[in-house]
Amino acid sequence: MAELKYITLFLDRQKEFAMLSDEQAGKLIKGIFQYGATGEKLASDDLTVNILFSVVKAQLDEVANKYDEKCRKNKEIATNRERKKRDAKSTNVDERADDDNSEHDRSPESTNVHERDYSSTKSTNTKTNTKTNTKTNINADALIYGTFHNVTLTQSEYDSLIGDYGRKTVEDYIDRVDSYCERTGKTYPNCYLTIREWMQKDGVEKSDVAKYECMINCFPDIIKTETA
């Protein structure tokens, strides 16, 4: 029987109590309290009191069993709640660790394949300069892009990116790669592949509209003639 601090007596037992004498009722009440406190059954020489005690005892046991079940469920709920809190904290710690160890969800491991040590000399060339980029040391046909001159693309690479994703998206990712290199001091020997990898990781999808945009950019004179 559960260690309850109370005893539940149901009102439907009132009529049985009314049939007892005050002496019998007193014995029964004492026996009920004793059973509730110690679990010891009433041992009376009065058959009527014993029979009624058995009825009340069954109800007391039912209440105690329900109480035990409720305690068990509450403990299970509390245990599950604490486990979820621990899991949530663990997940948050992992996410913070991932954020701290990556820039734009890119860890050093994911970019080491395309990174090499090159001279960090700042290039003073403009976007249209076709000389070798001293930061990435790529071929002389590459053009320099970005505010900090960290991104180099050949004209065909630049046109290919615009043809797949559109000028606005491409310029956005050029700025991201450029800022990331300036912030971290890292360099990419192939900015074209790097930009495509970043787009793929971000789930950027190719657009048919971008193809028409590329055609317009590649043939400005034709467009001007037709719209004149």
Asked whether the predicted pLDDT for residue 124 surpasses 90, the reply is: no
Unique residue bearing structure tokens 């074209």: 192
pLDDT band at 203 (very low <50, low <70, confident <90, very high): very high
Which pLDDT belongs to residue 209? Answer: 55
Question: Which of 53, 41, 36, 42 is CA-nearest to residue 2?
Answer: 36
Instruction: Name the more confident of 188 and 13.
Output: 188
First to last CA, the chain: 97
Structure tokens at 74: 């509450």
pLDDT band at 185 (very low <50, low <70, confident <90, very high): very high
For residue 56, count CB atoms less than 10 angstroms from its CB and return exposed for 0-12, middle for 13-18, buried for 19 or more. Answer: buried
Which pLDDT belongs to residue 14? Answer: 83
Q: CA 189, CA 183: separation in Å to the nearest integer?
A: 17
- Residue 205 is given by DSSP the state P
Are 125 and 150 spatial neighbours (Cβ–Cβ below 8 Å)? no
Unique residue bearing structure tokens 């290199």: 181
- Residue 13 is given by DSSP the state G
Average pLDDT for residues 10-37, to the nearest whole number? 87
Which pLDDT belongs to residue 11? Answer: 79
What residues have CB less than 8 Å from 130, skipping those under 6 apart? Answer: 140, 141, 142, 143
Structure tokens at 4: 């309850």
Are 194 and 177 spatial neighbours (Cβ–Cβ below 8 Å)? yes
Instruction: Name the more confident of 59 and 216.
Output: 59
